[in-house]
Structure 1
Amino acid sequence: MEQSVSHQSSNALRGFRVQAPLVDSVSCYCKVDSGLKTVVEARKFVPGSKLCIQPDINPNAHKSKSSRKERSRVQPPLLPGLPDDLAIACLIRVPHAEHRKLRLVCKKWYHLLAGNFFFSLRKSLGMAEEWVYVLKRDRDGKISWNAFDPIHQLWQPLPPVPREYSEALGFGCAVLSGFHLYLFGGRDPLRGSMRRVVFYSARTNKWHRAPGMLRKRHFFGSCVINNRLYVAGGECDGIHRTLRSAEVYDPNKNRWSFVQDMSTAMVPFIGVVYDGKWFVKGLGSHREVMSEAYDPESNSWSAVSGGMVSGWRNPSISLNGKLYALDCRDGCKLRVYDGATDSWNKFIDSKLHFGSSRALEAAGLVPLNGKLCIIRNNMSVSLVDVSSPDKQVESNPQLWENIASRGHFRSFFVYRHFVVQLSTPPEWKS
């Protein structure tokens, strides 16, 4: 399970009017190449995501002044009767759930919504939205992704995944730059272990190819630190089945590179980023339980033990410097790790347990709008406010909310796989 994100202000949700800056629409479109990896004609970028945060463009970028004037004269307005700067001020206030419809209006609207400026402006005005994206597998073994909109409390399907991932097993998923959902590695039933990498863009609502990993691997560990994707361990078809190697993908350079190998070969089954390090727990070559931690600053692995590892269970997540884990199958009990005593303590109990069936088992734990979001196998969703643990659930029911009812996907065999959080604006928080 991986995570991500960016916040929508409560003022925007209440309809608070935010004055949008008037912009020159002719100079606010940033050109993106086919790999979505570079932006030209922009003066400034958001680190790690190549995003234009200033609409002013180099005036010499076009071939000639006459061609620029001719282009601006021929282009129809975004909204008839309004200057384009006012039209953009209106369009940025449309919720992300409706952006799929806006892209179909005309090519000019499509390029506006797929560009960097539109999302950067929404972020700067506090209109960024935070969605949760969930992977499910049907009874025939086919996988698909669905997005949960917490504002309207609705699930929406994503475009079909690329064919190589329709039936893959043991692949990784992560979010980079806040709006790119990556699928990488895994094992194809026919082709075996893969190096392939694809990603979904929330701006274009499409899947794209990315550079492949350096090693084929499946059932490996992965995490994101400082907007870089790390993978380690796992298995590979062939003689050396269990792997020690680790590598990192930097979206700024759009390439993979090896990092320090793990101390021993491992197939991780749980991992979390906590206190600036990546902790993994898994099975060694002889099926023994092992735990290691990777420090990206020193590019080194070290063995870990003690109360944190022995009491560590999945799903887990780090939020605001604290490490949380679910303590029951239906995800209705939370524990928190106490570094001073090196132990896990009881934290919050919902006082309402759904049962221990496989369909009600908690599949993932991700941060959502400052709260912990629990996703269960039947696609039900609960939010837990961990900011006030001293309050009682009975006296403050808002501490534990069920915001999506059960049974949305009862026709599907939806058991634990990946749950990631994807933020529609260009921002990532670990």
Structure 2
Amino acid sequence: MGAVKQEVEDVYAATAVARYCYGSKESKQERAMAMEAEEDGGGLEGELIPGLPDDVAMECLARVPSRSHRRMRSVCRGWRGTVGSADFRRRRRAAGASEDILFLVQTAPARGDGKGSTPECALAAANLTTGEWRRVEGHADAWGPVPLFAQCAAAGDGRHVAVVGGWDPDTLRPTSDVRLLDVSAGTWRRGPEMPDTRSFFGCAGGDGNVYIAGGHDECKNALRSAFAYSVAADDAWRALSDMSEERDEPQLVVVATPGRVLLAASGYLTEAQGAFRNTAERYHAGGDAWTSGEGYVIPGGDTAGKTCLASVRGTVWAVGAGKDGVREWDGDARAWRDVADGPPGMKACVKAVGVGNGGAVFVFGTVADAAADGVKYSAWVMEASGGAWKRVPVPSEFGGFVYSAAAVSI
């Protein structure tokens, strides 16, 4: 048994020093194995760790930090299948070893002196459990830079984050590209292109799907159309019924309630550029229809454009600054109820997203004392069950404006 224990320790030591990085693209063989792992619970062959029952070995592997998962997948077929399996993710949650990783599409420091250059975007990963921040890089020849104003969304399958659309930084034209990141494997692949090209659309994910709605076309006409990309099932887009209203720059939220609902909120009409409305409507997949009515409004009145929506604790939270800045939608009462004040020191909310499988909310916003501190943006997190806001340290190189955010629990 001592030899087995030493072997486990050697394996852990070898993987623990590996950086959590992202490869350029996923090989067909690895993707096939990962899909097989999802179907058969891991695709295991032989013992995971010689001399240990697989159940015990799984408990050991489930506790390895996420930064080493990509390295683990290269050890053997059994480990590759294990790391890609739903059972592995369940074991990590049960063991309290899950890590909450937030992906942010944000402005990045321009290369060179930055004078006269086009702003650049980058994908950042913030591990809220360990406090580590890093850039998520793909192979430059294969992917190029992250498109300007791109949207990102977690598919809700515990594995995939999609980077969708945006503007090509060279041509400044909208792109329909879709890039899909397998977070546990640290590998990228191309997804099917969006059915059309649009700018400043809403984007959200859940239940294995990525949804887009609204935005505007190349003639700046606000759109009512919406689509869903099935990441987990057939890897294809499908059209949804049109929203009842045009919505340029809307917010989309997937609510994990019975019959999973997609909420499209705010945005503005073609003739009213920048005049955000406080209306909202909901899409029910079972009936392929959008519904709106009294109660489907965003709190804040004419400041709706500064209120950020997020899926937290199975419902919708509206996050703003100041007293009673955080509210929760009560579906039974069809009304908003106060939850807490906004984050202390926040002047305006830029982005809010549910983290920890909806058990907490992360907020990125402008700070009121920016001139004094020399820092324009900051971040906070609060448990949904209550408690005080906690300020999240943001390294200076990750202090750019955030266009979109997605959270995955690994």
TM-score, length-normalised on structure 2? Answer: 0.70
Superposed displacement of residue 197, structure 1: 0.7
Higher mean displacement: 86-95 or 192-201: 86-95
Superposed displacement of residue 334, structure 1: 1.9
**Partner residue, 1:175:** 154
Change in CA separation of 1:53 and 1:404 when aligned onto 2, cut-off 3 Å: same
**Partner residue, 2:167:** 187
Which of these two proteins has the greater Rg computed from alpha carbons?
1
Specify which of 214, 217, 222 is matched with residue 236 of structure 1: 217
Change in CA separation of 1:212 and 1:129 when aligned onto 2, cut-off 3 Å: same
1:22-421 residue pairs with structure 2 within 5 A? 33=28, 36=31, 50-53=38-41, 55=43, 85=54, 90-100=60-70, 102=72, 107-109=74-76, 114-116=80-82, 119-125=85-91, 126-127=94-95, 129-135=98-104, 136-140=106-110, 141-160=119-138, 166-176=145-155, 177-189=157-169, 190=171, 192-237=173-218, 239=219, 241-251=221-231, 252-274=233-255, 276-280=260-264, 281-287=266-272, 289=277, 291-306=280-295, 308-309=297-298, 311=300, 313=304, 314-328=307-321, 333-339=325-331, 342-349=334-341, 353-356=344-347, 361-368=349-356, 371-377=359-365, 381-387=379-385, 399-402=387-390, 404-405=392-393, 408-421=394-407
Superposed displacement of residue 316, structure 1: 2.0
Superposed displacement of residue 267, structure 1: 1.2
Superposed displacement of residue 203, structure 1: 2.4
Change in CA separation of 1:403 and 1:305 when aligned onto 2, cut-off 3 Å: same
Deviations 1:208-255 (A, max 9, x none): 111112111221122234322221222222x57433322211221111
Q: Is the 8 A contact 1:99 1:113 kept in 2?
A: no
Superposed displacement of residue 150, structure 1: 3.4
- Percent identity (aligned): 21
Aligned residues: 346
Deviations 1:238-281 (A, max 9, x none): x5743332221122111112221223433133232345432222
Separation (CA, whole Å) in 1 of partners of 2:318 and 2:30: 37
CA RMSD of aligned residues (A): 3.7
Separation (CA, whole Å) in 2 of partners of 1:353 and 1:41: 47
Q: Which amino acid aligns with 1:415?
A: F
Unaligned runs of 5+ in 1: 1-30, 43-49, 58-71, 389-398, 425-430
Q: Which amino acid aligns with 2:182?
A: S
Unaligned runs of 5+ in 2: 1-25, 111-118, 366-375
* Local SS of the residue matching 2:223: coil
Q: Is the 8 A contact 1:375 1:419 kept in 2?
A: no
Q: Is the 8 A contact 2:325 2:340 kept in 1?
A: yes
Superposed displacement of residue 332, structure 1: 8.8
Deviations 1:123-168 (A, max 9, x none): 3432451323232322323322333333323223323476766252
Higher relative contact order (CA 8 A, sep 6+): 1
Q: Is the 8 A contact 2:153 2:405 kept in 1?
A: no
Q: Which amino acid aligns with 1:166?
A: P
Superposed displacement of residue 355, structure 1: 4.7
